[in-house]
Structure formats: C-alpha cells, structure tokens
C-alpha cells in the first residue's frame, strides 16, 4: 500500500499543481465568458486546492519516504499539521458552498441579486470563509489536545491516520458537523433547488422551444452557468463526502479510510478537467493557448537558405525568392552562355571535319 501511495501522491502533485495554476491563469487573463464573481470564486478555489496539494504531497511523501516519524509525532507538529490540513480542506469546501449559494441567488432570486452577486461581496466572502476555516481547524487542534489529556481518543491529521474515532461528546459532534456535515449538506440542498428551478423554468417555456432570440440566449446562459456549478459542486460531494462518512465510524477499515482520503485529495487536482468539461469558452481558450505555444516551439521550415549564383560572386536565396532571382538574371550572362555554346559547337564541327 505504501508504494501505491507514493506513486499516487507524486503523480497527483506533478499534474494537479500545474493544472490548477494554469486554470487560474486562463480564467484571469483570457475571455472565458464568466462573470466577475464567478471568476473570483473559481480562482480562489484553484488557489486553495493548489495549497491542499502542496501540503498533501509534502506531508504524505515526507512520511512515506522517511524512515522515522519522530518529527511528526511531537505535540506541536501534530497540532500544526491539523491546523494546516483542516484549514486548507475546509477553505475549498466552503468556497464551493459560497459559490453555489451565490449562483442560486443570481439565477433565481432577483431581489437579493444586487446585494450578493457583487465582486466586493465575493472577495469578502472568500476572505471570511478562509479565516473561518482556519479558526475551526484551530479548534480541531484544541479538541485534539483536550481528548489526549482527557481520554485515549484523539484527532489526528487525516492524511496519515489509519483509524478514526467516534466522539460521543456533543462538542465533538458539533465540530464534526461544521467540518463535514454542514458544507456538504448545503451543497446538496442548493443543488437540488437549482435543478428544481431549472425544471420549472423549462416547463413554462413556450412549446417547441420558441420565444424571442433574447429569451433563448438568456435560457442558454442560465443552463451553462448551472452546468458549471453542478459539475464542480457535485464532484466535490462525491469525492469529499466519503472521507467524512468513513471517519465517523470507528469500525471502518484502514484501507477504506486511506482510499477516501486519496479521493478527497484527487478532488483538489481535477479542477482543470472540470472547467474544461463544463465551460466551453474555457476549453476553447485553453486550446488557443496550446496552439499558440505549439506554433512558437515549432521550427520554421520556411526560412530561406543562402546559396550562390553560377558565377559564385553574388549570394541568392533558395526557394521562392531564389526562383525570382533566377528569373531576373542579367541578359549579358545569358548571351555569353549562348555564345559560348555556339563557339563550342563550331569547334566541334571543325574537329569533326
């Protein structure tokens, strides 16, 4: 299992980190037909997931390749790893929650649209959710210290733990709900509401898909936004929720827990694939960038090669320009050549006679 984890985390970091950085670059610099608030949330998600992959690779690979784990077993390092990991994972999940709620309000709640669907509000939400996530992760460290001194159960960083304990204390259950239950619950609820409203709007549209061109453009725009949102949020639930469920039961096998943890880190590495799958404009801009880079790296076969004329005095260029040069040779050279040929022919005749 250790060899599989080594290969997995190496490949995940080598592919996921550059892909997230490139996705953020494309969204920020290219016209992907995204609103300002959507751009802010997607760039924040890519940055947060990049930090998740950096930490996952450093933490897991340092433990898998090192012979001793004494450094990671000390109390301050354990608390620091809990704060960093919980903060990074929760930041990504809560950013997706905010993005889901904002898109739902933008699409179907016009009364709150101006107050929530604003770039400054989006930036404030991202900063506030990141601070909230690290505050909750700090409470995870305190609960870990409390349970260590009070009982034999403890909270460990989920990247290395093979066992998860069930906590009967109400405070610990509230903490578990905030770290896993609440964000995934909100994502599922608002996605259900979005799908329901889309179906209701489809039923009230004119028969045969008629209507004005403006109505059709608006309807297609809403569908594109909903497709992007549903792809990102439902993938997060599918890959992140199993870890929360597995760590809620102490009877869960260590292999299942490790697989759930690996799935959650996979969720941080596939943002580029999700954006390409759900956003046509993003996919086209990526293709244009790839083609432009390939054209620059491709050697230019049309560069003319330098040659020389029959006389060896003046350089000429081969290819098209060379042909033009040969066509414009001076007439005296041609006459000399013809006279030389006639002279040679006369000498041949005289020798033959």
pLDDT digits 0-9 by tens, 248-262: 776 777 888 888 889
Q: Is residue 327 pLDDT above 60, yes or no?
A: no
How sure is the predictor about 72, in pLDDT bands with cuts at 50, 70 and 90? low
- Banded model confidence at residue 47, pLDDT cuts 50, 70, 90: very high
Residue whose entry in the numeric block shows the structure tokens 């081969």? 318
Task: List, for residues 15-26, the tens digit of each pLDDT value.
Answer: 999 999 999 999
Q: What is the pLDDT of residues 259-312, one digit of tens each?
A: 888 999 999 999 999 999 999 899 999 999 999 888 888 776 554 544 444 444
CA distance 311 to 327: 15
**How many residues are given for the chain?**
353
Lowest mean pLDDT among 81-85, 120-124, 346-350: 346-350
Average pLDDT over residues 115-123: 86
On the CB side of 11, CA atoms within 13 Å amount to 9
Question: What is the per-residue pLDDT across 169-219, written as a single tens digit (0 to 9) for each?
Answer: 566 666 677 777 889 999 999 999 988 888 887 665 555 545 566 666 777
Query: 244 near 164, Cβ under 8 Å?
Result: no
The pLDDT score that the predictor gives to residue 145 is: 57
In the three-class reduction of DSSP (H, G, I as helix; E, B as strand; rest coil), residue 33 is classed as coil
* Per-residue tokens: 186: 């909100």
Dihedral, CA atoms, 102, 103, 104, 105, nearest 10 degrees?
A: 50
Q: Can you tell me the distance from the alpha carbon of 102 to that of 116, in angstroms, rounded to the nearest whole number?
A: 7
Helices 36-65 & 75-108 angle (0-180, nearest 10):
160
pLDDT at residue 107, as a whole number: 83
The 3-state DSSP class for residue 61 equals helix
pLDDT above 90: percentage of residues in the chain: 30
116 alpha-carbon distance from chain centroid: 25
**Residue 133 in contact with residue 86, Cβ under 8 Å?**
yes
Q: Are 235 and 184 in contact (CB under 8 A)?
A: no
Q: What is the pLDDT of residue 301?
A: 56
The pLDDT tens digits for 121-177 are 999 999 999 999 888 888 777 766 555 554 444 344 444 444 344 344 566 666 677
**Sign of the C-alpha dihedral, residues 347, 348, 351, 353?**
negative
Average pLDDT for residues 86-105, to the nearest whole number?
91
């Amino acid at each position: 299992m250790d060899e599989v984890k080594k290969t997995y985390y190496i490949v995940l970091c080598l592919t996921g980190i550059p892909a997230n950085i490139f996705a953020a670059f494309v969204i920020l610099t290219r016209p992907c037909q995204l609103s300002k608030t959507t751009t802010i949330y997607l760039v924040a998600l890519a940055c947060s997931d990049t930090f998740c992959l950096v930490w996952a690779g450093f933490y897991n690979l340092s433990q898998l390749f090192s012979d001793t784990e004494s450094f990671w077993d000390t109390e301050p390092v354990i608390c620091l790893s809990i704060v960093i990991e919980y903060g990074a994972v929760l930041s990504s999940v809560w950013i997706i929650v905010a993005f889901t709620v904002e898109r739902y309000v933008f699409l179907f709640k016009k009364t709150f649209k101006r107050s929530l669907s604003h770039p400054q509000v989006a930036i404030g939400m991202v900063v506030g959710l990141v601070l909230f996530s690290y505050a909750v992760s700090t409470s995870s460290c305190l609960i870990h210290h409390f349970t260590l001194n009070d009982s034999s159960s403890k909270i460990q960083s989920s990247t290395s733990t093979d066992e998860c304990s069930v906590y009967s204390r109400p405070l610990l259950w509230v903490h578990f709900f905030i770290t896993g239950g609440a964000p995934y619950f909100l994502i599922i609820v608002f996605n259900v509401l979005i799908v329901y409203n889309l179906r209701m709007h489809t039923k009230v549209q004119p028969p045969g898909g008629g209507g004005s061109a403006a109505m059709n453009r608006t309807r297609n725009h809403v569908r594109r936004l909903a497709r992007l949102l549903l792809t990102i949020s439902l993938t997060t639930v599918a890959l992140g929720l199993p870890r929360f469920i597995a760590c809620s039961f102490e009877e869960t096998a260590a292999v299942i827990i490790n697989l759930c943890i690996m799935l959650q880190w996979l969720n941080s590495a596939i943002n580029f694939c999700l954006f390409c799958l759900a956003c046509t404009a993003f996919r086209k801009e990526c293709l244009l960038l790839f083609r432009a880079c390939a054209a620059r790296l491709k050697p230019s076969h049309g560069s003319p090669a330098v040659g020389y004329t029959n006389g060896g005095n003046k350089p000429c260029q081969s290819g098209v320009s060379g042909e033009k040069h040969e066509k414009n040779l001076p007439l005296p050279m041609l006459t000399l050549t013809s006279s030389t040929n006639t002279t040679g022919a006369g000498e041949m005749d005289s020798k033959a006679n």
